[in-house]
Amino acid sequence: MKKSFLVGLLIIGFLFSGCDDKSTIDSSVIAKKSLLSNNYEFVPQIFNLTTTDDKTISLKTTPDGIDFDEYKGKKAVLIDVFATWCPPCIEELPILKEVREKYKDNFEIVSVLFEHDRLKQEIKDFISKNEINYPMTIGEENFKLTKELGDVQKVPEMFLFSKDGKFIKKFVGKTPKEELEQYIEMAIGN
């Protein structure tokens, strides 16, 4: 009885946490001040993210969020920082695909791969296998962006921005579909 209780607690703890590659929790796991905090002097940054099909998604940080060249004024954007080895990231894929399809006229997901040393073909195979219907970015620029977003250390982490680029909400770990949709509708309406 005691053993099954402990196993249950471990499973629950895993379900409510994000993935990281650290074996212990230390001060580097705690997000540092970022563009999402107004407690510092703002300096805009420009990022050119490369998708798996060699397209570029350009964006610039602002004091209120991020301006996406392609989507500004047209679509709310969810930046999904994830890894292919992360169970909660994989579990969220059906939810993300579903909300992307439901709101596709006003909403886009930009998936930012948080992994080094992955071959582009491996990632393309992952996209195909999981039938991912939104762009996925790869490369070193991803890590520069995640640093700007608060020095992301765990995945999944998602950042939602309105059509005009204002930061709406940060999600850490697996997010219920209902909560995600509530904020997506808010981002689309802004």
Q: Provide Rg for the chain, Cα atoms.
A: 17
- Confidence category of residue 42, pLDDT binned at 50, 70, 90: confident
On the question of pLDDT at 69 being above 70, the answer is: yes
Q: What is the mean pLDDT of the chain?
A: 83
The yes-or-no verdict on residue 40 having pLDDT over 80 is no
User: Residue 154: pLDDT band by 50, 70, 90 thresholds?
Assistant: confident
Tokens of 146: 């995640």
For helices 87-102 and 177-189, angle between their N-to-C axes, nearest 10 degrees: 40
Between the CA atoms of 164, 145, 31 and 39, what dihedral angle is there, to the nearest 10 degrees?
A: -50
Please give the average per-residue pLDDT across 9-20, as a whole number: 43
For residue 189, how many other CB atoms are within 10 A of its CB?
10
How much is the average pLDDT of 175-190?
94
Residue 36 clears pLDDT 80, i.e. is over it: no
For tokens 């471990």, name the residue: 10
- Residue 43: pLDDT band (50, 70, 90) is confident
The Cα 93–Cα 83 span in angstroms is 11
Whether 17 has a pLDDT exceeding 70, the answer reads: no
Give the per-residue pLDDT at 41.
76
What per-residue confidence (pLDDT) applies to 117? 82
Are 70 and 62 in contact, with CB atoms under 8 Å apart?
no
Instruction: Calculate mean pLDDT across residues 160-166.
Output: 96
Are 156 and 82 within 8 A, CB to CB?
A: yes
Q: Measure the CA–CA gap between 148 and 109, rounded to whole angstroms.
A: 18
Query: Among 179, 186, 161, 175, which Cα is nearest to 16's?
Result: 175
Set out the domains of the chain in order of their start, with CATH numbers.
Answer: 2-189 (3.40.30.10)
* Res. 30 pLDDT band, cuts 50 70 90: very low
